[in-house]
Structure 1
Amino acid sequence: MSTAPVPIVTPTSPAAPPSGPLRQPGAAALTVQFLLTGIIWGSSFLFMKVALEGVSPAQVVWARLVLGALTLGVFVALRREHLPRRLRLWGHMTALALSFCVAPFLLFSWAQQYVTSGLASIYNATTPIMTAVMAWAVFRVERLKAAQIAGILVGVAGVMVIIAPWQGLDLTQSLLAQLAILGATACYGFSLAYMRRFLSNSGMSALVFSFLNIGIAAAIMLALTPVVAQSPVRLDVPIVLSLLALGCLGTGVAYIWNQNVLRAWGPTRASTVTYITPVVGVALGIVLLGETLHWNEPAGAVLVLLGILLAQNRLRVRRRRRADAA
């Protein structure tokens, strides 16, 4: 993602537009889908790292978007969903495909040549803070309270702890890669605020919304095939399986599971998948890739998560519930 996270600072979810009368999974099935989504999205950083051993960053993005679009297209066909006809919606979805898929996916893939998969997964957790900033400062669709602004500042402090400027900033590829990942999460934040501003009443089902988002992005990458194909390709079983997992699972099936949970649980509960992905990403990086975790990375991650809780007003809500119970 890189995962395509759910919006978690707004009371309603623009990423899950009103859907038709589809049968919802049961409570147990939703819990399983929630956990599997977190595991798959957390594993995507490992899949990207493995895939980059044989294909270029742009080819990774090409494969995951095309495979994801094909997977979602199969579900759209099976459910006999209808695509929107309004040209204005297609224009907004094209802008969203660029900002929510093409740009951040390219940035993540390029950056993971120079940083560990665990560090990339930690930075991915800054998306909710980026969303709060964009919704407040750019689109003016969210008014932040003092506690939420404090949460943003705490999250920024967490990012600074992860970057560790006291070790020296020499503009190496690693530092540039970290900044690229922050640029990717800023793209996510921009896109989630854009959804609320322009697409909250689109009338599309969650499945069609996801299919158009991924499908248009895949069409853009297909148009760039002559450029993408210039880099040499080396395929083996782990690389092929990683690309299939990134595309069919991470950019396909997991999107559907995420939307099921989002519609049933609401954005606040569904957004807690953000807390699963860095744990999975760091653990897989250490166990399977032999990556090293420095003390400042989990310390910064704790500050980022604290900032997310403050930005979402969750700490205030819990204090109120305890007071009401007393």
Structure 2
Amino acid sequence: MSSTAATSSSRSTTTPTPATPPVTHTPPTSPAPPSPAPSSPAPASPAPPAAPRSAVDWRIRFAVLALIWGFSFLFIKVGTQGYAPLHVTLGRMAFGTAVLAAVLVAKRDRLPRTLRTWVHLAVAALFLNALPFSLFAYSELTIPSTLAGICNATSPLWGMALSVVALSEDRPTRRRVAGLGLGFLGVLTVLGAWQGFSGTDPLGTFMALGASLCYPIGWIYVRRTLAGSDNSSLSMSSAQLMLATLQLAVVTPFFTSLPTSFPVVPLLAVIALGALGTGFAFLLQYGLVAEVGPTTAQMVTYFIPVIATAAGVAVLDEHLAWNTPVGALIVLVGAALTQSRPRRS
């Protein structure tokens, strides 16, 4: 579930993936690296400078990132059991922003200075953070977290379809078109199309799919407007999360009232969703992109629905019919095909 313009733009070798983000995300995510969910867990830009190797092996950090983003859908579900969806999203953004702001200060980095950059980041914040995160929160009022996590995995499919229209240099191959068709066949399998979509809430599912569509829209916008920025990834992402938090702070009072109570478990879920799933996850992903490259780092996208499904079934006791894992597998295969590129001689 890539959640930041910075995260998404560093994945320059692939079509947008969530994060979720954004990325969607995830992805879920500009000059350097989701969102996400974002959920999730894209656009081309100069690769980030090589970072010193971490004391922790990249495979371990990769696994931790997949776990954090996979559990994000569980955190959303638990959070909405005690708070309104917009409160969950606003809290998520606030705690995620706090993490990045603290790191920004510790590294003595600075926020972007040009008005043009801030305007473009405001649009990116809407499509990569505020809107998809809110849609996922609302969707999980009526659909299981497992289904939300699988819907998040459709972001690469939307990304390929949109890139053909919006990016003249990104032409489809037969393999990628086949992947697109296979992926949406997987979506129909997950939803049980042959049963008339019985057992799933149409509006909640539509919102989750709409959230996954937001990520590639945001990533394509970032690719066309911010790819040449000379600000650091941390600087751009911090500014973007600040803007998304501000957007939600302005909108939330018009749609819901202040909480009258603060149940502890949902509050802890919101804190984990923001501090871990948005703030810390970005730092992990940026380190992975710098160390092993965007192509390897974006593979985390394919583990998110698996973990989200396992967490929903094991922790929340959500029902899992046979067509859900089968359809999810078809979606992932299709998404992988849409990311494929012909080998160069």
Relative to the length of structure 1, the TM-score reads 0.89
Cα deviations across residues 95-136 of structure 1 (Å, max 9, x unaligned)?
000111111011100000111111111111111122222222
User: Relative to structure 1, is the Cα distance of residues 2 and 111 closer, same or farther in structure 2, using a 3 angstrom cutoff?
Assistant: farther
Q: Give the C-alpha shift of residue 30 in structure 1.
A: 2.5
| Runs of 4+ that moved beyond 4 A | 1-10, 12-15, 17-23
Q: Give the C-alpha shift of residue 26 in structure 1.
A: 3.0
Q: In the alignment, which residue of structure 1 is the partner of 2:120?
A: 92
Q: In the alignment, which residue of structure 1 is the partner of 2:271?
A: 244
Does residue 174 (structure 1) correspond to residue 176 (structure 2)? The answer is no
Q: Give the C-alpha shift of residue 308 in structure 1.
A: 1.5
Q: Give the C-alpha shift of residue 42 in structure 1.
A: 0.5
In 2, Cα distance between the equivalents of 1:251 and 1:243?
A: 11
- Aligned partners of 1:155 and 1:303 also within 8 Å: yes
In 2, Cα distance between the equivalents of 1:128 and 1:49?
A: 24
Does residue 121 (structure 1) correspond to residue 123 (structure 2)? The answer is no
- Aligned partners of 2:95 and 2:274 also within 8 Å: yes
1:1-326 map, 5 Å: 1=1, 6=8, 10-11=12-13, 14=30, 16=33, 23-26=51-54, 28-169=56-197, 174-227=201-254, 230=257, 232-313=259-340
Letter in 2 for 1:266: G
User: Relative to structure 1, is the Cα distance of residues 223 and 164 closer, same or farther in structure 2, using a 3 angstrom cutoff?
Assistant: same
User: Relative to structure 1, is the Cα distance of residues 207 and 19 closer, same or farther in structure 2, using a 3 angstrom cutoff?
Assistant: farther
In 2, Cα distance between the equivalents of 1:103 and 1:91?
A: 17
Q: Give the C-alpha shift of residue 138 in structure 1.
A: 2.7
- Aligned partners of 2:75 and 2:270 also within 8 Å: yes
Letter in 2 for 1:211: S
Letter in 2 for 1:209: M
- Aligned partners of 1:19 and 1:204 also within 8 Å: no
- Aligned partners of 1:60 and 1:243 also within 8 Å: yes
Cα deviations across residues 289-314 of structure 1 (Å, max 9, x unaligned)?
11111111111111111112211116
In 1, Cα distance between the equivalents of 2:49 and 2:207?
A: 41
- Aligned partners of 1:6 and 1:267 also within 8 Å: no
In 2, Cα distance between the equivalents of 1:62 and 1:173?
A: 27
In 2, Cα distance between the equivalents of 1:55 and 1:233?
A: 10
Letter in 1 for 2:300: V
Structure with more of its chain in helix, by fraction? 1
Where 1:239 maps in the other structure, the secondary structure is helix
> Which protein is bigger by CA-based radius of gyration?
1
Q: Structure 1 regions of 5+ residues with no counterpart?
A: none
Cα deviations across residues 53-86 of structure 1 (Å, max 9, x unaligned)?
1100011011001111111100001001122222
- Aligned partners of 1:100 and 1:188 also within 8 Å: yes
Letter in 2 for 1:37: L
- Aligned partners of 2:10 and 2:46 also within 8 Å: no
Cα deviations across residues 155-178 of structure 1 (Å, max 9, x unaligned)?
1111111122221257x9711111
Q: Give the C-alpha shift of residue 153 in structure 1.
A: 1.0
In 2, Cα distance between the equivalents of 1:229 and 1:269?
A: 41
Letter in 2 for 1:101: N
In 2, Cα distance between the equivalents of 1:295 and 1:44?
A: 23
Q: Give the C-alpha shift of residue 142 in structure 1.
A: 1.6
The structure with higher relative contact order (CA 8 Å, sep 6+) is 1
Relative to the length of structure 2, the TM-score reads 0.84
Where 2:201 maps in the other structure, the secondary structure is helix
Q: Give the C-alpha shift of residue 18 in structure 1.
A: 5.7
Q: Give the C-alpha shift of residue 225 in structure 1.
A: 4.6
Where 2:319 maps in the other structure, the secondary structure is coil
Where 2:321 maps in the other structure, the secondary structure is coil
Q: Structure 2 regions of 5+ residues with no counterpart?
A: 17-29, 34-44
- Aligned partners of 1:9 and 1:311 also within 8 Å: no
Equivalenced residue count is: 317
In 1, Cα distance between the equivalents of 2:47 and 2:167?
A: 25
Instruction: Tell me which moved more, 2-11 or 146-155.
Output: 2-11
In 1, Cα distance between the equivalents of 2:205 and 2:10?
A: 23
Q: Give the C-alpha shift of residue 228 in structure 1.
A: 5.3
C-alpha root-mean-square deviation of aligned residues, in Å? 2.6
Q: Give the C-alpha shift of residue 21 in structure 1.
A: 6.7
- Aligned partners of 1:73 and 1:211 also within 8 Å: yes
Letter in 1 for 2:316: L
